[in-house]
Structures are given as C-alpha cells and as structure tokens.
Structure 1
Amino acid sequence: MAQPPNGRERDVLRRLSGEEWEHLAQLYAGEKTISTLLERQWVEELPLLLSGTRRLRITPAGKVALTMPAPEKPKRAKLPMLKPIVPILRDR
C-alpha cells in the first residue's frame, strides 16, 4: 500500500482539490514538499512555456491519496511530576 501524505502534503492537496491550475506561490509550501508531491505523481505541473509561472494541479492519484487516512502521531511518554523546590504553604 502506498504511503499516505503527511500533514503538509495533505494541506497542499486540499488547496489543489479544485479543477483549476493554482500558482505555486499560493500553496504556501516548500520546495521539498512540492518535489515529493511531483515524485509521487499526486500533482502535475503546467509547462512554463504555457503559463510563464509555475502552476500545479491535483491528479486523480492525488485525489485518492487525499482520501487515505492520516498517519497516526507517535505516542509520547508521560513525564513524572517533579517535586517543588520551594515549600508549599501547607507543608510549613
């Protein structure tokens, strides 16, 4: 099974969920996130000759990836309570 998109990739896919081509600057995503989406073929890029700026659009594979369940966040270990350094009023 394919790896589901992480939070940043999911945000970009949501912004691209319409049918229109979107400017890259309007996606508020880094170059690494965009390159990952392009590698996984979840988005496609309009050739620069046609638009003059970088524009992206979601693919059918990207729509399927958007419906995948989000990965679970790792559980954090609970930290023990620290004893106060300064005495509490009831301890005096």
Structure 2
Amino acid sequence: MSVGTGPQCSLPPTGWLSHSVPPPADTGGNRALNSVLHVIAVCQIRDGGRGQEYYQRKIAEGKTPSEARRALKRRLSNVVYRIMKRDQRNHLAQAA
C-alpha cells in the first residue's frame, strides 16, 4: 500500500503528456489580432506570393494544412511586430 500522493496506476500517460500528440493550442491572447492574422494568412495562401510559398514549404515538410497555416500566422505576427518596433524607433528618433 502506498501512502504517497502520486498516481497509483502504472499505466503510461496518454494524449499530449505522452508526446504522441501535440499539446492543445493556447486559446488566450488578443482575439481581434488573431482574427486579423488569420484573414491575412488565408488571403496570402489563396492569392500567392511569399505567404503561399511559405505555406507550401511547410506542407512539403509534412505539416498538416492547419499546422502550416498556424506557422504562417506566427511568421506574420513576427513581421507585424518588427514593423511596429521599427515605426516606434523612427517615431522616437523624430521626436528627439
């Protein structure tokens, strides 16, 4: 008989704890920003260009369409962030 507080079963973990499936996506964050990034990603995938090339490359790497779209949205968020930081630096430089 065990007096510990740990699990009393010796079965292996299932689901994302066993690393057989990815952990669930975080649903927190800015919903409006996520919606805008989703629209941009879908338009870029549909209309061609660098976004579509990136999406197709992720598909070729073996990612599912959802995973490839998520990767494109992450890349777009990085681009938007860099633009915002650059604009802030330019604004501060002009104010000085």
What is the TM-score when the length of structure 2 is the normalising length? 0.29
Say which one has the larger Rg: 1
> Could you say which structure has the higher strand fraction?
1
Give the TM-score normalised by structure 1: 0.30
Higher RCO, 1 or 2 (CA under 8 Å, sep at least 6)?
1
